[in-house]
């Protein structure tokens, strides 16, 4: 199935437009052919009915009465008209007022209506000898020259419909040939118009194809039809997204190269020193330092990846749902309890039992992880770290500690990537609070840094109203 689709010929806009026009035109042509045939048949019937009437009138003019005897002389004109109908058969009959046949085909059907009130001229369709015929019945009053007595004579002429149908088909064929020629001409005009109309699209395609790989400048819309404007806008929007994505990728690569260069060099030196040491105790000390460096590098890489995913340039919208921030805070605090115990810190939770905020559960977990990692890392041993969730006019999640805190002049700077306080000797990458700021921003929340009652730092995340 996939192979068949791979070899499938690409769809053509020109062919699609032509097919879209051809099918309705064929339907209209079929309907017009039917109507044309009906009109042609009606016209042929009218013409041949007049010919039948003329034939009947010519025969009636040759009827006379002498001494009560009716004579019928078929004129040459009538016979000539009969011979001209080569495609069909012609029948005639002359009968007196009592219905007795005087000449012609005796079994030809009688007029539909007789008597004094019957019309003098009647047209009807009848079945004769198993064939459908068109029949004209003409009543002619004949006066005897001697007795001066009037009597009615019926002249009937019938013909089979082949001549009428042949004439209708001939008219239909001529009309169809003319209409087919018009349809083909129309399709040719449409094809030329489509080719001309697609020139701007071909120029746009050629311009895009001729650009360099790193050329993502917006495409100009000048000189393009208005129908192509949405396409150009979409291409320009896609180009902007790619530019932001490439910029974020370059920043990630530059940051990773810059931040990992020193730890890797230090770990290489520590590994070389460990190899040179002959004392097992000294080797273990160097290996412990190497392991700490590896952990720090791993932590930095994880934070770099988090920062890269949170970059607004990536253009990835986050899915928001109603999250119980209080339950989540207790859950994350419980996960960090072992790490806090190792550092001798007192980690606890206070606040509401349940507070609902609109957010992304996975990102809020990352936010709490970074805040607790920062608090336990920089507050020092035997510090008190508290996670709190309050529900007021706006829900607030905060983490506070009893550490040295951050000077007020530095609080805006520590939110920047890779910024670290002067003289800070503890391990860290300077990305924790930057990640917290990005996650809060993606949730429309306000981030605040101030002094905690315990004397250290209090970081608050104030969520918008649900």
**Mean predicted confidence (pLDDT) in 156-164:** 84
Q: Are residues 266 and 334 in the same domain?
A: no
- Above 50 in pLDDT, residue 4? no
Beta strands in 129-263 (DSSP E): 131-143, 150-159
What are the phi and psi torsion angles at 463 (to 5°)? -85, 150
Closest CA to 187 of 31, 14, 9: 14
Domain edge (last residue) among 269, 286, 312? 312
Q: Are residues 25 and 157 in the same domain?
A: yes
Q: If you average pLDDT over every residue of the chain, what do you get?
A: 78
**Mean predicted confidence (pLDDT) in 198-208:** 79
Q: Are residues 23 and 159 in the same domain?
A: yes
Measure the CA–CA gap between 35 and 172, rounded to whole angstroms.
10
pLDDT score recorded for residue 85: 58
83 to each of 44, 90, 170, 304, 419, how far by Cα in Å?
18, 9, 20, 105, 115
Coil, helix or strand for 452? Answer: coil
**Mean predicted confidence (pLDDT) in 418-443:** 68
- Above 60 in pLDDT, residue 8? no
**Mean predicted confidence (pLDDT) in 354-368:** 87
- Angle, helix 361-378 to helix 325-335, in steps of 10 degrees: 50
Q: Are residues 346 and 401 in the same domain?
A: yes
pLDDT score recorded for residue 418: 60
What are the phi and psi torsion angles at 167 (to 5°)? -65, -40
Q: Are residues 433 and 392 in the same domain?
A: yes
Q: What is the per-residue pLDDT across 101-125, written as a single tens digit (0 to 9) for each? A: 888 888 888 887 776 667 888 888 8
User: What is the residue range of 232's domain?
Assistant: 226-312
Q: Are residues 296 and 357 in the same domain?
A: no
- Above 60 in pLDDT, residue 429? no
Closest CA to 111 of 159, 156, 175: 156
- Above 50 in pLDDT, residue 86? yes
Q: Are residues 27 and 162 in the same domain?
A: yes
Q: Are residues 338 and 291 in the same domain?
A: no
Q: What is the per-residue pLDDT across 168-195, written as a single tens digit (0 to 9) for each? A: 888 888 888 888 888 888 878 877 877 7
Q: Which residue carries 């039948």 as its tokens?
A: 52
Q: Are residues 308 and 353 in the same domain?
A: no
**Mean predicted confidence (pLDDT) in 223-241:** 79
Query: Bigger pLDDT: 84 or 163?
Result: 163
Measure the CA–CA gap between 372 and 379, rounded to whole angstroms.
10
Measure the CA–CA gap between 376 and 382, rounded to whole angstroms.
10
- 425 token code pair: 């000797």
Q: Are residues 301 and 387 in the same domain?
A: no
Q: Are residues 323 and 307 in the same domain?
A: no
pLDDT score recorded for residue 184: 84
Q: Are residues 147 and 240 in the same domain?
A: no
- Above 80 in pLDDT, residue 348? yes
Give the whole-number percent of the chain exceeding pLDDT 70.
80
pLDDT score recorded for residue 388: 92
- Above 60 in pLDDT, residue 440? yes
Residue 269 lies in a domain: yes
| 460 close to 389: Cβ distance less than 8 angstroms | no
Task: Please state whether beta strands 384-390 and 346-351 pair in parallel, antiparallel, or not at all (unpaired).
Answer: parallel
Bridge-partner residues for 141, per DSSP?
A: 152
Residue 198 lies in a domain: no
Residue 244 lies in a domain: yes
* Rounded (5°) CA angle 188-189-192: 85
**Mean predicted confidence (pLDDT) in 226-235:** 80
Query: Bigger pLDDT: 60 or 85?
Result: 60
Residue 419 lies in a domain: yes
Measure the CA–CA gap between 135 and 153, rounded to whole angstroms.
16
- Above 70 in pLDDT, residue 419? no
The alpha carbon of residue 27 and the mean position of all alpha carbons in its chain are separated, in whole angstroms, by 27
pLDDT score recorded for residue 7: 43
Q: What is the per-residue pLDDT across 129-142, written as a single tens digit (0 to 9) for each? A: 888 888 888 888 88
Q: What CATH number corresponds to the domain at position 131?
A: 3.30.450
pLDDT score recorded for residue 28: 84
Residue 65 lies in a domain: yes
pLDDT score recorded for residue 299: 61
Residue 75 lies in a domain: yes
pLDDT score recorded for residue 47: 82
Domain edge (last residue) among 168, 183, 209? 168
pLDDT score recorded for residue 327: 92
- Above 60 in pLDDT, residue 9? no
**Mean predicted confidence (pLDDT) in 57-81:** 76
How many structural domains is the chain composed of?
3
Residue 395 lies in a domain: yes
| 138 close to 129: Cβ distance less than 8 angstroms | no
Q: Which residue carries 């809020």 as its tokens?
A: 364
Closest CA to 262 of 54, 17, 395, 429: 429
Domain edge (last residue) among 119, 151, 168? 168
Measure the CA–CA gap between 387 and 381, rounded to whole angstroms.
17
Residue 202 lies in a domain: no
| 88 close to 161: Cβ distance less than 8 angstroms | yes
């Amino acid at each position: 199935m996939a192979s068949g689709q791979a070899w499938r010929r690409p769809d053509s806009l020109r062919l699609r437009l032509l097919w879209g026009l051809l099918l309705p035109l064929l339907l209209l042509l079929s309907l017009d052919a039917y109507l044309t045939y009906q009109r042609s048949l009606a016209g042929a019937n009218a013409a041949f009915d007049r010919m039948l009437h003329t034939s009947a009138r010519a025969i009636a003019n040759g009827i006379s009465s002498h001494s009560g005897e009716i004579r019928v002389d078929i004129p040459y004109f009538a016979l000539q008209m009969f011979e001209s109908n080569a495609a069909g058969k012609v029948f005639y009959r002359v009968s007196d007022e009592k219905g007795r046949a005087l000449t012609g085909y005796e079994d030809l059907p009688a007029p539909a209506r007789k008597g004094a009130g019957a019309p003098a001229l009647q047209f009807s369709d009848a079945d004769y000898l198993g064939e459908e015929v068109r029949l004209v019945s003409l009543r002619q009053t004949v006066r005897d020259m001697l007795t001066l007595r009037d009597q009615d004579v019926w002249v009937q002429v019938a013909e089979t419909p082949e001549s009428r149908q042949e004439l209708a088909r001939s008219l239909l064929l001529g009309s169809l040939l003319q209409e087919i020629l018009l349809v083909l001409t129309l399709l040719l005009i449409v094809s030329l118009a489509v080719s001309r109309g697609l020139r701007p699209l071909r120029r746009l395609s050629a311009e895009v194809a001729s650009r360099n790989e790193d050329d993502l400048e917006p495409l100009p819309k000048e000189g393009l039809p208005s129908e192509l404007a949405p396409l150009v806008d979409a291409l320009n929007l896609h180009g902007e997204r790619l530019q932001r994505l490439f910029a974020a990728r370059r920043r990630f690569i530059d940051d990773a190269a810059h931040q990992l260069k020193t730890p890797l060099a230090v770990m290489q030196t520590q590994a070389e020193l460990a190899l040179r040491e002959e004392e097992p105790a000294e080797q273990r000390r160097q290996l412990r330092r190497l392991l700490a460096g590896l952990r720090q590098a791993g932590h930095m890489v994880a934070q770099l990846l988090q920062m890269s995913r949170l970059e607004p340039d990536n253009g990835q919208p986050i899915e928001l749902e109603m999250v119980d921030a209080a339950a989540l805070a207790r859950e994350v605090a419980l996960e960090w309890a072992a790490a806090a115990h190792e550092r001798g810190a007192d980690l606890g939770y206070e606040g509401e039992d349940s507070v609902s905020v609109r957010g992304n559960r996975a990102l809020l977990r990352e936010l709490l992880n970074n805040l607790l990692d920062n608090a336990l890392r920089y507050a020092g041993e035997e510090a008190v770290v508290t996670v709190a969730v309050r529900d007021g006019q706006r829900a607030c999640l905060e983490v506070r500690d009893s550490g040295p805190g951050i000077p007020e002049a530095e609080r805006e700077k520590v939110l920047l990537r890779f910024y670290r306080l002067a003289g800070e000797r503890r391990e860290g990458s300077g990305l924790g609070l930057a990640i917290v700021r990005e996650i809060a921003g993606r949730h429309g929340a306000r981030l605040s840094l101030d002094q905690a009652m315990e004397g250290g730092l209090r970081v608050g995340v104030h969520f918008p109203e649900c």
